[in-house]
A and B are shown apart, each in its own frame.
Chain A
Amino acid sequence: MSFPWAKHYAPTNPFMKWMDERLPVPRLVYNAVGAGYPVPRNLNYFWNFGVLAGAALGIQIITGIVLAMHYAANGGVAFDSVEHIMRDVNAGWFLRYAHANGASMFFIVVYLHIFRGLYYGSYKAPREMVWLLGVTIFLLMMATAFMGYVLPWGQMSFWGAQVITGFFSAIPGVGETIRVWLLGGFAPDDAALNRFFSLHYLLPFVIAAVIILHIWALHIPGSNNPTGVEVKGEQDTVPFHPYYTAKDGFGLGIFLLVFAGLLFFYPNYLGHPDNYIPANPLSTPAHIVPEWYFWPFYAILRAFTADFILPAKLWGVLAMFGSILLLFFLPWLDSSPVRSNNYRPKARIAFWILVLDVLVLGYCGGSPADPAYVIASQIASIYYFAHFLIILPMISRSERPLPLPNSITEAVLANHGGTSPAQTALA
């Protein structure tokens, strides 16, 4: 599961030897994140985000479990139980704001982690399973976040649930039956709220299990690196501990600094004021929008305004799910043997257009459905699908990549100072 030159776990302490013979957990840790796991020496800060995502999940689970001790999942009391947490529970305000802003931090970190994967070709052979498991984690995160947002039972909670569960009715024939079955009623109500609470508590542990598989799948070939050139020898790597434990420790500090800034000083900045109004099924908010991390997909959903064989609503739903599901096929859509966009000039341009495109989609998703925003969403959605399904496959076939370095060490010695995308983007 590692490189031949990896250090071996050799306990000297008698207790540790006793443990190693009976339940080799210390050995597992040593081989996974300790001195026994060699990692390319040239990783840049974009490689910090995986560990930060794990930390964010840990924060969410801990704050979530404690919140669940005080929260009540019943329509009549849910909103008030959250306010009880905010006002009366010791440090309840901290738990609630940590959990709400922690979800945003989790998505920020995961989006940066995904875009690192897209830029450096981390999804390519032999790491396809790492990528597939990662997209699965992303889908589970979205489900968890959606259900979590419903729990405070504010206006946006209720109406967001109404809109999202309404998607199922777009399925021809059985759609409405499925929708009512999932909700446990004709509209979001106590049945839906209770089951969302149950699943919201469950899914993070499913995510944790998939993360274990994700890291296991990664540790078979080892980490990718900014050059995309595979590890050739011992000089290309450093042991994970202490080199990347130190770097990740610093990264964690920055992450917590940003998190604390949000939590303590702008805790409601990323939220929507309407969710401080108790849910009212008889009063529709002027603008129903999900949380910011769903905005690009919401924009894609609302971009489909024309019927064509299928009704527009169904196109929108298919496209919204399709926009994530197509990521599963990325390793096979992009056939270039060159991994890193540092050496793929055309793919690099397409990548940055994609980044701009997703930001535009995000902005449109959070805005009202005025014609200007709808038109922008339509243009941006065209590029999004074209990028993954048409442009990237075509580029990967016809492109002339730049010459790759012979090894990681060669790249490090030649280009001392790192090989960050910003540097090569200017080159």
Chain B
Amino acid sequence: MVRFIAMLVGIAFAGVLAIALFGSVTGVITDPPPATAEHEFHLHPRELDLASNGPFGKFDMRQVQRGMQVYKEVCSACHSLRLVSFRDIKDMGYSDAQVKVFAASYDNIPSINPDTGEVATRKGVPSDRFPSPFANEVAARAANNNALPPDLSLMTKARHDGPAYIYSLLTGYRNQPAELLKKFPDAKTPPGLHYNPYFANLNIAMTPPLTADGQVTYTDGTKSTVDQMAKDVAAFLSWTAEPRLQARHTAGFAAMLFLAIFCFLAYGAYQNVWRNVKH
């Protein structure tokens, strides 16, 4: 009885699937999915060799510091970093005093006037988070042609191949290729947007943020080419997304070593217990 009903159910599902399969196959043959500009011209991120890459990766804190300088002087005009606190930058090798000075350099931390209760701003302290450039989403969109500059705290984890993506995106702005316009005349970059093949739909609202070499003057003397700045800010954003990466790798190495020894001993114990038993 069970098998009879099962047979019917199986035939029903298989039958409906066969109908769907027929539909899909004829659909592909008669009406093949059209090629899209995104599909043909979207590029996967270029390789980026950061010190934090790989299982033994460690942050190059010099590079992360440079990246933070790029963020502060270029990106923070539009992008917030709301999950990072000033005190976190101590991990980059700054002293407590330097962190205090850094926090105090911000005087736009939202607060309340202690006398009148009105909305006000104050100087930063280490326990504050990085402030947002805009009061709210409406203000952010109003200042950016209705586009919302996303928060960057997790950007390298929120995109496939995050650090490489950031680097490629920032160095990837170019003119729309002529062959794209020939093949897809409707896909001309709309006014207000910029062609960037590393962006998912090829046209990004962000104006090229890194326009010229020397835009930022690095305090450690490194030459600040566009390429270098892009790499450095990618390294910085890897740090903001994964501040515990180094501790994680160190703990991981210890854990794997311990477990490898444990497995070795456990295997020995297993063989010993079973040595007289055929199995």
Contact = CB atoms under 8 A, between A and B. Distances in A.
Interface of A: 41-43, 80, 83, 86-87, 93-94, 97, 238, 242-243, 246-247, 249-250, 252-254, 256-257, 260-261, 263-265, 267-268, 273-274, 276-277, 286, 303-306, 308, 312, 315, 319, 322, 326, 329, 332-333, 335, 370-372, 374-375, 378-379, 381-382, 385-386, 388-390, 393, 412-413, 416, 418
Nearest to B272: A246
A264 B241 CA distance: 15
Interface residues of B, number: 59
Given A93-B248, A250-B270, A260-B259, A375 B6 contact: no
Given A238-B277, A333-B3, A253 B83 contact: no
B114 to A, nearest CB: 26
A329 B6 contact: yes
Contacts, number: 170
Given A261-B252, A333-B6, A378-B17, 8 more contacts: A246-B269, A253-B267, A264-B253, A273-B162, A277-B150, A375-B21, A412-B278, A416-B278
Contact of A257 (B21, B249, B263): B263
A273 B157 contact: yes
A393 B10 CA distance: 11
B6 A306 contact: no
A142 B55 CA distance: 31
A386 B14 contact: yes
A50 to B, nearest CB: 17
Contact of A249 (B13, B162, B266, B274): B266
B249 A306 contact: no
A329 B2 contact: yes
B13 A322 contact: yes
B42 to A, nearest CB: 12
A412 B278 CA distance: 7
- Among B16, B241, B248, the most chain A Cβ lie within 10 Å of the Cβ of B16
B212 interface: no
A378 B199 CA distance: 32
Contacts of B24: 305, 371, 374-375, 378
Contact of A418 (B263, B267, B277, B279): B279
B9 interface: yes
B20 A378 contact: yes
Given A382-B14, A412-B279, A413-B278, A264 B88 contact: no
Contact of A260 (B19, B256, B273, B274): B256
Nearest to A261: B256
